[in-house]
Amino acid sequence: MTSIEAVHTYLPPNRVPVGDCLADYGFSAAQIRMHERFYGFREVRLDPQGSLADLLVSGGAGLAELAGREHLVRYVLHARTMPVVAPYPVNPVREAARRLGLAHATTFTVSQHACASGLLAVDLAGTLLADDPDPAALALVLTGEKAFTASAQVISGTGVMGEGCSAVLVSAHGRRDRVLSYAAGTYGRFSAGPWMSEPDAAAFRDDYPVMVAEVVRAAVEESGLDLDQIGTILPHNVNRLSWLRVLRLLNIRSAERLVLDNLPHTGHCFAADSFAAYQLACEQGRLAPGDPYLMTSVGLGATVSAMVLVH
């Protein structure tokens, strides 16, 4: 059974107020107040001097459970949001794998689910490892990107993008955070992503909570549990008002089940959010052995994914 052996999240030390980011891209004072006061964004982490490979290496190097087990890693996957992150022939994930002592591993990117690619990569890694004759074989999933263009830094009304990397060590036979189910749905009407027409963008805002609730229910049903048994939800960091709408559709009355504590301090870190929330939930003692929990993410395009695990 696919399991998450360990997670480490790296955040650059440079903190930038979201107001500065939004002002740089022409947002009005009223729009900035909306993002800060209502959507919940306060600051993001950025490293103007570092490369994407540097970011991925910082995430992987902090994964203590990887040290001494590099020879067991069969695959290194970069769960990517943006289709292009570097000019040819630069290959950030291959460079990161080499610097982490994993040049022997098969290395590739997963990108077609945008910010939902992180959960896809975990599921794919588990599937690949299940065919490996060595039950101790591992895969390393790297999430996170550089926010270097206007469309990469701000999704109006949704999120302000920050930089960070969550490194996830995956096994097919682990005893730790075991994956009970994974569900994903792609809603092709919104395939234009950030370049949607205004009518489609308005429809996306209206349909967004319905799509998320639909996929969450599918994942929970496949897991054999019910929503009342899911005590903790590890979401992607988009505006908190949209999450309240999702909770209402799921008949979840307590927003305390959401781990959105990172949102004001990191912004939306592409595909890394749910894993960063996992690390925070563990540090806060919000996950006890045997607790079922749910990760969820949405990628523009539009793909919604959800995964149920047991701690």
Classify residue 42 by its DSSP letter. Answer: -
pLDDT < 50 regions, the chain: none
**Nearest-5° angle of CA 259, CA 265, CA 270?**
75
User: The tokens 């949704």 sit on which residue?
Assistant: 158
Q: How many Å apart are CA 171 and CA 169, to the nearest integer?
A: 7
Q: Specify whether 137 is located in the same domain as 18.
A: yes
Q: Specify whether 157 is located in the same domain as 189.
A: no
Residues 159-214: pLDDT tens digits?
889 999 999 999 999 889 999 999 999 998 988 877 788 888 888 889 999 999 99
Q: How many Å apart are CA 93 and CA 146, to the nearest integer?
A: 13
What's residue 74's pLDDT?
98
Q: Specify whether 302 is located in the same domain as 184.
A: yes
What's residue 151's pLDDT?
66
Residue after which a domain boundary falls, among 171, 187, 210: 171
Q: Specify whether 163 is located in the same domain as 183.
A: no
Q: Specify whether 162 is located in the same domain as 269.
A: no
Q: Specify whether 54 is located in the same domain as 14.
A: yes
Q: How many Å apart are CA 243 and CA 234, to the nearest integer?
A: 11
What's residue 83's pLDDT?
84
Q: Specify whether 68 is located in the same domain as 109.
A: yes
What's residue 148's pLDDT?
67
Q: Specify whether 74 is located in the same domain as 165.
A: yes
Residue after which a domain boundary falls, among 171, 201, 230: 171
Classify residue 161 by its DSSP letter. Answer: B
Q: Specify whether 152 is located in the same domain as 186.
A: no
Report which residue type is found at 201. Answer: A
Q: Specify whether 24 is located in the same domain as 75.
A: yes
What's residue 279's pLDDT?
97
Q: Specify whether 129 is located in the same domain as 51.
A: yes
pTM of the model: 0.95
Counted domains in the chain: 2
Report which residue type is found at 290. Answer: G
Q: How many Å apart are CA 84 and CA 73, to the nearest integer?
A: 26
Count of residues for the chain?
A: 311
CB 240 within 8 A of CB 159: no
Residue after which a domain boundary falls, among 132, 149, 171: 171
What's residue 149's pLDDT?
67
What's residue 269's pLDDT?
95
What's residue 24's pLDDT?
86
What's residue 136's pLDDT?
97
- Give the CATH number, domain containing residue 264: 3.40.47.10
Alpha helices by DSSP H, listed for the chain, are 18-24, 29-33, 52-61, 92-99, 117-130, 150-153, 198-223, 240-249, 263-266, 273-283
Alpha helices by DSSP H, listed for 63-153, are 92-99, 117-130, 150-153
CA distances to 52, 53, 83 from 164, rounded to whole Å, are 10, 12, 18
Q: How many Å apart are CA 98 and CA 101, to the nearest integer?
A: 5
Query: Structural domain of residue 147, as residue ranges?
Result: 3-171
Q: Specify whether 63 is located in the same domain as 133.
A: yes
